[in-house]
Amino acid sequence: MAVQIRLKRGSTTPSAGSFAEGEPAWDSSNSKLYVKNAAGTMVLINPGSQDYGLITGTVDSSTDYGSIV
């Protein structure tokens, strides 16, 4: 069974007060991903404007760490 990971998302730059440290946030208006850092501010973690598309793959569980193949 597939596991879904859901991010908090909105249509503006996220406000740090709404997030815990390390929690990610998706700004759907400009396709940017943020995370709250230890200093308490939201940091953009995908600063480029490229469209990377959908990443697909399977997890190879025969390795100790798993890998996408």
The total number of structural domains in the chain stands at 1
Q: Is residue 25 within 8 Å of 19, Cβ to Cβ? A: yes
Check residues 30 and 55 and name the one with the higher pLDDT: 30
Q: pTM above the 0.75 mark?
A: no
Model confidence band, residue 68 (pLDDT cutoffs 50, 70, 90): very low
- Buried residues in 37-54 as b, exposed as e (16+ CB within 10 A): eeeeebeeeeeeeeeeee
Residue-level pLDDT at 60: 58
Q: How far apart are CA 48 and CA 56, in angstroms?
A: 20
Q: What is the reported pLDDT for 37?
A: 92
